[in-house]
Amino acid sequence: MSEVPSSGLQLRSLVTKAGKLELSLEEVENPPLGDNDVLVRVEASPINPSDLGLLLGMADISTATQGGSADLPTLSADIPESMLKYMAGRLDESMPVGNEGGGVVIAAGGSADAQALMGKTVGVLGGAMYSQYRVLNVNQCLAMHDGVTPAQSASCFVNPLTALGMVETMRLEGYSALIHTAAASNLGQMLQKICLADDVQLINIVRKPEQAALMRDIGAQYVCDSSEASFTQDLAYAIAATGAYMAFDATGGGELAGQILSAMEVAANATAAEYSRYGSTQDKQVYIYGGLDRSPTVLRRSFGMAWNLGGWLLTPFLQKIGREKAQALRQRVADEINTTFASHYVREVSLRETLQLDVAQAYAQQATGQKYLINPST
């Protein structure tokens, strides 16, 4: 800790006008520390679904080829021409990647807040986290309790705050129970634990019997398996039982969002006193917060007129609730990082391994709950 490094390797993603994705490692200088900054040695950063879009630029990873040297490998792949127009804003610009991570503070600016973090393990939300070192403002760091490792703190922002944000959004918008899709994910398990702790009823939509079993093991009362023939009926019953008229959907594409709205309408009409030509008056809200299914969203509008479907993102949500409330959510994450908010990874890889052909092909297709963790310090 006596020698402060002046530079380190950083993973870069480039999408060219010619339709090529190029991943590489670059040596970048650490900028000078401001008063309120710290230098973090990054030791863990997850590959979240939300990172994959920026990392791989919608490339067809089956066309990927290896290049560069053993020390500084590169990876190239073709991007389907139809996808290129969605990346107009990043063409020919080499971009760093990685929303969040965990590491150790090895140098600190002069302010008391910065000095207080010296030597601490921190979870950070900083962008460019697939880097060996990062200079960050203290506000981007969440100090962990003693004994927590960087790997344990690597996912302390995106998933925990998203899961907490769903429950807060439910309260803010006057709903009293929730539906969640892709529910067996790391995030989904966190959400179930929060709902158990906060006494909120949650309907978990999963796609496989083993995911249903996993959710029941951690205490889920309502699990609907979309692979069952009785799925939409099961879902309507669960909604009628819980009053869950707000859903968060990680998939986005296909018919699932519409199926949820239809099941809500069936549940609402099951208790309605008289026929309404415009459908039930029960407000119904589905938020799409991910895009696991890239296909178009298809809505068979058999759910009346009192419905809403929209996008949901963590950052605008945190801005909306304000700094104090957001800080309370962050502190809860730090306090429960190894229980409610524990994350699991299928594999830990180095920065160089991240650019290896077989590794990239594996994380490009990572299934729900099969997350990779990058350790840039190895």
Residues at the site binding a second copy, with contacts judged by CB under 8 A: 50, 53-54, 86, 88-90, 93, 252-253, 258, 269, 272, 274-278, 281, 288-289, 291, 296-302, 304-313, 316
Nearest distance in Å: CB 120, a second copy: 29
CB of 30 to a second copy, least distance (A): 23
202 neighbors 180 (Cβ within 8 angstroms): yes
Biggest CA–CA distance in the chain, Å, is 76
The residue written with tokens 């100090």 in the block is 143
In the complex with a second copy, which residue's Cβ is closer, 118 or 313? Answer: 313
- Cβ proximity to a second copy: between 15 and 212 the closer is 15
Helix 186-198 and helix 209-217, axial crossing angle in degrees, nearest 10:
40
Smallest distance, a second copy to C-beta of residue 114, A: 27
The tokens 């921190």 sit on which residue? 122
Distance in Å, CB of 306 to a second copy, minimum = 6
Which residues touch 78 (CB under 8 Å, ≥6 apart)?
19, 20, 21, 59, 60, 63
Taking residue 27's Cβ as centre, other Cβ atoms within 10 Å add up to: 10
Question: What gap in Å lies between CA 305 and CA 283, rounded to an integer?
Answer: 9
DSSP state string for 43-55: EEEE--HHHHHHH
Residue 48 beta carbon to a second copy: minimum distance, rounded to whole angstroms: 12
Tokens 């299934």 belong to residue: 367
The CA distance from 125 to 333, in Å, is 13
| Complex with a second copy: residue 288 or 333, whichever CB lies closer | 288
Q: Considering beta carbons, is residue 298 or 346 the nearer one to a second copy? A: 298
Q: Please, are residues 101 and 46 in contact by the beta-carbon 8 Å criterion?
A: yes
Give the residue from 157, 156, 170 showing the smallest Cα distance to 287. Answer: 170
Under 8 Å between Cβ of 50 and 127: no
* Residue whose token pair is 């999963």: 206
* Count of CB atoms situated within 10 Å of the CB of 198: 12
Nearest Cα residue to 67 out of 77, 57, 79, 55: 77
Each as own residue / partner, the long-range contacts of residues 189-196 (CB below 8 Å, 24 or more positions apart, any chain) are 189/214, 189/215, 189/218, 189/369, 190/159, 190/160, 190/163, 190/340, 190/341, 191/163, 191/166, 191/167, 192/218, 192/219, 192/220, 193/218, 193/219, 193/339, 193/340, 194/163, 194/164, 194/167, 194/340, 195/167
Q: Which is nearer to a second copy, 305 or 346 (CB)?
A: 305
* Least separation in angstroms between CB 327 and a second copy: 22
User: 92 or 217, CB closer to a second copy?
Assistant: 92
